[in-house]
Structure 1
């Protein structure tokens, strides 16, 4: 079967899952933008109350986004698609054989399209608030005095760590249902403490949506290469270290894969036999 045939068949069977991914990343961008405006725009109370407390402002954004990701992971749409909302997460699960090639490609396309569309919606609706220099369309870029090298290393490390924690949780009998909360906790810590190093992306599609809205592409390549490489290598490392332990499915809420989903038993059982 050719790739195009695979993708056509996958679309007919699984398009609601792809729609859930597009909506999920759109909601993530919407909430991130609103929280950033609340805490960084000088006209809003979050900034006014914490004007001299940059770390606390980032912590406010981080806490809000942690709750947002938990909501995305555990709502019915998130459980349907797996709540990847990130090409790097999808790549990691594909490496482990828990999502088929055609589904992985559709997930990536849905994530990118969802981010691009939401970036344009936010630009049109929020206007000057979204464009304000303190918000800057939610663009991710290296932060002075750090350069591209520091940003790349930081993005790689946080991406590797997030995927590794996710896989450890999903393979743990007690923790697998709490994986979404663990990811939320990491997101809170990353936004609060890592943002000054790289701007804190983790998500190539989200960064692309903001970059296109702003027309600002400086360093964009690293926000694709570092997260994709970090999460892919984390999956490779985990496969080597935990060979023989089965992963039920590529769903962040933790589950046994339902029939007729991109995460059902059709992919090779992890780990793949050599």
Structure 2
């Protein structure tokens, strides 16, 4: 079967999964923008109350975005698609054989489409507020430390994120709490790491903001670092758990997948439950 045929058949089986991924990353960008406006826009009463408290304001955004991730992972649509909402995450799971090639391509197309569309919608609806330097279209660009530091920071936080996800999904007790662990990491990253790289982790989200702002400084590193780091994380995981399979790529835990329950009638397999023998 050719790739185009695979993708056509995959679309008919799992289009709702792809819609969930597009909506998920769009919701993530929307919440990130609203939280940034709340804590950083000069006219915001929250910003005025916390003026001069940069760390506290970043912690507020981090807490909010951590809770957003929890909502995305554990809502019905997130459980359906696995709540990747990140091409780097999807590529890593594909490399491990946890998602089919055609589904992985559709996931990434959906993630990119959702981020680009939301970036334009926010630009259209929020106008000067979205463009204000304090918000700056939610652009992720290297800070004053330069691109090399930004690359290193993105690589490290992406590697840690993927390792935590894989170890949690492999752990009998922790796998249902993977979304909460990711939320805690986002809180820490936004609070403490964002001054180094603006804290992206997500190539699609960065692209959506970059296109809206028409600003592409350092865009390459926000693609290369997360993807390379997460692929390396899968190598690390496989070296630690040689011969042991990761059950699935559902961030809410495999039991959350619709196919994990006995359906009343046969249903197509979830795209994240493909196994590959090593």
TM-score range, shorter chain: over 0.9
Task: Report the alpha carbon displacement of residue 237 of structure 1 after superposing the two structures with TM.
Answer: 1.5
Q: Does structure 2 retain, via aligned residues, the 8 Å contact 1:26–1:115?
A: yes
| 1:207 aligns to 2:206 (yes or no) | yes
**Whole-Å Cα distance in 1 between the matches of residues 118 and 200 of structure 2?**
16
**Whole-Å Cα distance in 2 between the matches of residues 247 and 239 of structure 1?**
9
Task: Report the alpha carbon displacement of residue 124 of structure 1 after superposing the two structures with TM.
Answer: 0.5
- 2:275 pairs, out of 245, 268, 272, with 268
Instruction: Kindly report the root-mean-square deviation, in angstroms, between the aligned alpha carbons of the 2 structures.
Output: 0.9
Alignment of 1:86-105 (within 5 A): 86-105=86-105
* Secondary structure of residue in 2 paired with 1:226: helix
> Structure 1 unaligned runs (5+)?
none
The one-character-per-residue Cα deviations of 1:65-110 (angstroms, maximum 9, x if unpaired) are: 0000000000000000000000011011111100000000000000
- TM-score under structure 1 length normalisation: 0.96
**Whole-Å Cα distance in 1 between the matches of residues 88 and 23 of structure 2?**
17
- TM-score under structure 2 length normalisation: 0.95
Residue equivalent to 1:30: 30
Residue equivalent to 1:190: 189
Q: Does structure 2 retain, via aligned residues, the 8 Å contact 1:20–1:78?
A: yes
The one-character-per-residue Cα deviations of 1:112-153 (angstroms, maximum 9, x if unpaired) are: 000000000000011111000000000000111x00000000
**Whole-Å Cα distance in 1 between the matches of residues 46 and 87 of structure 2?**
31
Task: Report the alpha carbon displacement of residue 174 of structure 1 after superposing the two structures with TM.
Answer: 0.4
Residue equivalent to 2:61: 61
**Whole-Å Cα distance in 1 between the matches of residues 161 and 183 of structure 2?**
10
Alignment of 1:1-274 (within 5 A): 1-144=1-144, 146-256=145-255, 257=257, 258=259, 260=268, 261-264=270-273, 267-269=274-276, 272-273=277-278
**Whole-Å Cα distance in 1 between the matches of residues 205 and 233 of structure 2?**
21
Moved over 6 A (4+): none
